[in-house]
């Protein structure tokens, strides 16, 4: 049995640049979808990796090639590909945001578990939520 630590370890020495990554069979296409949807410029683009960056913060969304990508099922179902996470996007007006997302190529998920949140699916099936904070 190890002795309890008196001083916790230091946090990671990060630069402040952080983000999340989505896998896709065609990262360029998904990158362009989210760039148009969010209004974030493309910071890097290649066949294997693309990144968009929020111009207001040190935040990015990356897209990595996965030739074996299987779209998650929403809502989750036994024996089907599960979502590893999703994006929550706070918007000023949910119905308007849904219309904008649809115009960019998103789909409205059939299952909607909350009245004040809309679950959307991006062009390859990643779920993302549109909500307005109370």
The domain spans of the chain are 17-67, 83-134
Q: How far apart are the first and last CA of the chain?
A: 48
Tell me, what's the pLDDT at 75? Answer: 83
**pTM confidence score:** 0.86
- CATH of segment(s) 83-134: 3.10.180.10
CATH for 17-67? 3.30.720.120
- For residue 5, the model assigns a pLDDT of 63
What is the predicted pLDDT for the residue at 4? 66
Kindly state the percentage of the chain with pLDDT values over 90: 70
Mean pLDDT of 115-125: 96
Q: Is the pLDDT of residue 89 over 80?
A: yes
pLDDT of the residue at 1: 61
């Amino acid at each position: 049995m190890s002795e309890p630590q008196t001083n916790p370890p230091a946090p990671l020495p990060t630069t402040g640049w952080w983000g999340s990554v989505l896998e896709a069979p065609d990262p360029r296409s998904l990158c362009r979808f989210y760039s148009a949807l969010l209004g974030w410029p493309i910071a890097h683009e290649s066949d294997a990796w693309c990144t968009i960056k929020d111009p207001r913060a040190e935040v990015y969304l990356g897209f990595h090639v996965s030739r074996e990508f299987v779209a998650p099922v929403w809502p989750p179902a036994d024996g089907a590909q599960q979502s590893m996470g999703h994006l929550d996007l706070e918007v000023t007006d949910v119905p308007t945001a849904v219309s904008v997302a649809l115009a960019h190529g998103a789909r409205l998920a059939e299952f909607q578990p909350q009245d004040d949140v809309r679950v959307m699916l991006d062009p390859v099936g990643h779920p993302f939520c549109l909500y307005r904070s109370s």
